[in-house]
């Protein structure tokens, strides 16, 4: 179990790297990280249930302009990780749904709390970039490479520590809550899951359609044809 938890926090670090400093390949998207967390702990279905909700919100959160978006890289890992760790500790069916609710809540809160941390990191990078320019002017042509390595190491380290602390605190606080109030949390999941999916998908729909009739019609076609095919094929 210790090795798996270590792998979980390291995944948080890798996701944070993929989000901004390195490559931006979308490895950090909650559906991807949740699938990996699920495979790691043998709880794929639960992890993906949490990952789906976090994914719709991550997909409509844009890293554009001066706004620092919510940090769904660590949020996705923390959300799915919290859910699977709780469900592993409390293996009864109501706790499964309660863990899913607690996981999504932990993911959303950590994604929001991650914003000041990302801003702090970016401010630290200002000093790094000033040092880099001075070093280059002094003839150190390797300075940009060293600065990039330092920026990557800092982003990885901060994300790993954040994931470890948040997961630790989350499990400590949520385990007794899920154990004693699993029915209430399972009810909350039944209510919140469709609402969350609806809100997130509506934001995506709005981004795609942009008040164009043809695109709205295509959404309708996908809905009707998908509905019919699912009913007929299944």
Structure tokens at 159: 């994300």
Q: Per CB under 8 A, does 185 bind other proteins?
A: yes
Question: Applying CB under 8 A, which of residues 63, 116, 157, 168 lies at the interface with other proteins?
Answer: 63
Question: Applying CB under 8 A, which of residues 12, 50, 70, 100 lies at the interface with other proteins?
Answer: 70
Q: Per CB under 8 A, does 180 bind other proteins?
A: no
CA neighbor of 73 nearest in space, from 91, 55, 88: 55
Length of the chain: 234
Question: What angle, 0 to 180 degrees and rounded to 10, lies between the N-to-C axes of helices 72-89 and 93-137?
Answer: 150
Q: Which of residues 79-138 bind other proteins (CB under 8 A)?
A: 101, 104-105, 108-109, 111-112, 122-126, 128-130, 132-133, 136-137
Could you tell me the smallest distance in angstroms from the CB atom of residue 97 to other proteins?
10
Could you tell me the smallest distance in angstroms from the CB atom of residue 168 to other proteins?
22
Neighbour-count burial of 45, counting CB atoms closer than 10 A to its CB (0-12 exposed, 13-18 middle, 19+ buried): exposed
CB closer to other proteins, 1 vs 123:
123
Size of the site for other proteins (CB under 8 A): 105
Structure tokens at 232: 């007929």
Q: Per CB under 8 A, does 173 bind other proteins?
A: no
CB closer to other proteins, 91 vs 222:
222
Cβ neighbours of residue 67 closer than 8 Å, sequence gap 6 or more: none
Q: Per CB under 8 A, does 233 bind other proteins?
A: yes
Structure tokens at 120: 């702090």
């Amino acid at each position: 179990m210790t090795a798996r938890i270590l792998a979980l926090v390291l995944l948080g670090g890798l996701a944070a790297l993929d989000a901004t400093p390195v490559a931006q390949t979308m490895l950090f998207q909650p559906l991807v990280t949740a699938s990996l967390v699920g495979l790691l702990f043998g709880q794929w279905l639960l992890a993906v249930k949490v990952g789906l909700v976090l994914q719709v919100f991550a997909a409509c959160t844009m890293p554009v302009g001066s706004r620092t978006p919510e940090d769904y890289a660590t949020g996705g890992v923390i959300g799915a990780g919290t859910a699977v760790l709780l469900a592993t500790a409390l293996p009864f069916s109501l706790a499964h749904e309660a863990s899913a609710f607690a996981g999504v809540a932990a993911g959303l809160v950590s994604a929001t709390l991650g914003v000041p941390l990302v801003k702090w990191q970016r401010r630290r990078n200002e000093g790094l970039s000033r040092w880099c320019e001075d070093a280059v002017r002094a003839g150190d042509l390797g300075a940009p490479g060293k600065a990039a390595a330092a920026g990557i190491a800092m982003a990885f380290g901060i994300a790993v520590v954040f994931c470890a602390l948040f997961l630790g605190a989350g499990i400590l606080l949520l385990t007794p809550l899920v154990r004693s109030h699993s029915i209430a949390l399972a009810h909350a999941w039944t209510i919140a899951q469709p609402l969350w999916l609806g809100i997130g998908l509506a934001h995506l729909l709005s981004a795609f359609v942009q008040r164009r009739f043809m695109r709205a019609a295509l959404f309708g076609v996908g809905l009707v044809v998908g509905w019919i095919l699912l009913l007929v094929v299944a």
